[in-house]
Amino acid sequence: MTESSSPGNYALCEISFTVNGEVRTVRTHPMERLLDTLRHQLGLTGAKEGCGEGECGSCSVLLNGALVNSCLVPVLQAKGADIVTIEGLAGGAQLDRLQEAFLKCGGAQCGICTPGMILAAHHLLRRKPNPTIEEIREGLSGNLCRCTGYIQIFEAVEDAVRRRAAS
Amino acid sequence: MRSNPTDYQLVAPASLQAAISLLAAEPGGWLPIAGGTDVMVQYAAGKLPARRLVSIWNLPELRRIETLPDEIQIGAGCTYTDLREHASVQREFSLLARAAAWTGGIANQNRGTLGGNIVNASPAADSLPALLVYEAELILASVRGERRVPYKNFHTGYKKTKLAPDELIRTICLTRRFSGHLAHARKVGARNAQAISKVCIAALGRCAAGAVEDIRIAVGSVAPVPIRLTKTERLVTGKPIEASLIALARETAIAEIQPIDDIRSTAKYRSAVMGNLVAEFLQKLGAHESQI
């Protein structure tokens, strides 16, 4: 336990941001991790807690378009930001092309890394619509998977690229 | 044990001036936090001694890169992504762009800042050997004014710097005089991304008339702070690159580092690899020279 002499002595604050296109306001402590706000206050449990120290990428979200580890973001730093979580990627019942490709190629097994993998791939494809395999590997290198051995994941990203080109 | 957010205060001033005013009111009372890639890790582990934090993330004064005639001025709040994508940094300071590209993964590169890497003062920090070879200078800001100091004297020991409690790093300045040098960087870690280096090197060299005219070699993870291999540099300066010189440079380099055994590697491995990295750079410089 932390050794503060007077725990809980700092005030709550009100923070607003946009999550998946919707303006949300939370009342919370400014040092709460964005990951916890998303999961516990907003019920968005797509972002997962893996390592809790920015190594595994399973808590990845997009913050103003940038891929970030939400376990390392104090929620106050998300004030006014535009946040996209995995829940915001699909259009209703229609899955995103990357989500479909992960299903088709076996890119998801236990599923813990999958939301982060898909957001990292989405972030990559917005910057590099036709990535090389090296660029795919680099773009996903901050997201760890203990099931697939990564090959099906890379194939899923390549499949999504091909299907976008064909559509 | 995880920290409880109710035990922590975090404020986010809107300007650099407001942030340094807060630091000045209670020097040492506030811990600056930028992208959180180091501070939030300590926080999550329940190991963050500071209880009051001031966010300097995305302050506009700290998020600029300016290319002046003589130097490039990088705001301390620029991220690794900002650095690796900036055309002048890529072209003229490729060692820094490469270090930025192999720090962490993409998500950490989007949040980790150059100023944070300097202040965190880890001996394994990826960007710091590049700052040593480019002879970077730092502009430090406080309400008392600004001062400009060389980076090489700034980092005084393991996790220690000369930053005063009321100061922030505002800008990192790099002189634009190295575009004629051969640049060489290597990081040796457990994997390419998300790994902290076992050993890393950043080096610049230039030959003239068949001999080494100017050489700068900096290394990380082999001493309490990142260091220049000044003895090795002196040894090779003015000499043609030959096998006997490379062998001697390898020994000299190994003699001037102080590697340790830790969770990432052993002193023995680090010494052997450091010798190889120095030899590899000299071979590359020699081959480069013979092509001119």
Domain borders along chain B are 5-55, 60-175, 182-291
How far apart are the CA of A77 and the nearest CA of chain B, in angstroms? 7
What's the pLDDT tens digit per position in A48-71? 999 999 999 999 999 999 999 999
pLDDT value for A1: 38
Write down all domains in chain A, each with its CATH number in brackets: 13-88 (3.10.20.30), 97-166 (1.10.150.120)
For residue A137, what are the CA distances in angstroms to A141, B208, B283?
Answer: 6, 40, 30
pLDDT value for B196: 79
Look up the CATH superfamily of B182-291.
Answer: CO dehydrogenase flavoprotein, C-terminal domain (3.30.390.50)
pLDDT value for B10: 97
Residues of A with CB under 8 A from a CB of B: 1-2, 4, 7-10, 28-33, 52-55, 57, 60, 66-69, 71-74, 76-77, 79, 120, 123-124, 138-139, 141-144
pLDDT value for B1: 66
Number of H helices and number of E strands within chain B? 11, 14
How far apart are the CA of A74 and the nearest CA of chain B, in angstroms? 8
**CB proximity B77 to A under 8 Å:** no
Compute the count of residue pairs across chains A and B with CB atoms less than 8 Å apart. 121
Backbone CA torsion sign across B238, B240, B241, B247: negative
Identical fold between B60-175 and B182-291: no
Q: What percent of chain A has pLDDT over 70?
A: 95
What's the pLDDT tens digit per position in A14-29? 999 999 999 999 999 9
Asked if pLDDT for residue A161 goes beyond 60, the answer is yes
Give residue A120's pLDDT band: very low, low, confident or very high (50, 70, 90). Answer: very high
Task: Tell me which of 3.30.465.10, 3.40.50.300, 3.90.550.10, 3.40.640.10 is the CATH number of domain B60-175.
Answer: 3.30.465.10
Q: What percent of chain A has pLDDT over 90?
A: 88
> Which parts of chain A fold into alpha helices (H)?
34-36, 97-105, 114-127, 133-139, 151-166
Give residue A4's pLDDT band: very low, low, confident or very high (50, 70, 90). Answer: very low
pLDDT value for B292: 57
Name the 3-class secondary structure at B85. Answer: helix
Angle between helices A114-127 and A151-166 (to 10 degrees): 40
What's the pLDDT tens digit per position in A123-158? 999 999 999 999 999 999 999 999 999 999 999 999
How far apart are the CA of A60 and the nearest CA of chain B, in angstroms? 8
How far apart are the CA of B11 and the nearest CA of chain A, in angstroms? 8
Longest dimension (CA), chain A: 62
Q: Which residue has the higher pLDDT, A165 or B9?
A: B9
Q: What is the DSSP letter of B112?
A: -
Q: Can you list the residues of chain B whose pLDDT is less than 50?
A: none
**CB proximity B51 to A under 8 Å:** yes
Among B93, B132, B159, B145, CA closest to B230: B132
Query: How buried is B244 (Cβ within 10 angstroms: 0-12 exposed, 13-18 middle, 19+ buried)?
Result: exposed
Question: Considering only CB atoms, which chain A residues are within 8 Å of B44?
Answer: 33, 52-53, 71-72
**A110, A116 contact by CB (below 8 A):** no
**CB proximity B104 to A under 8 Å:** yes
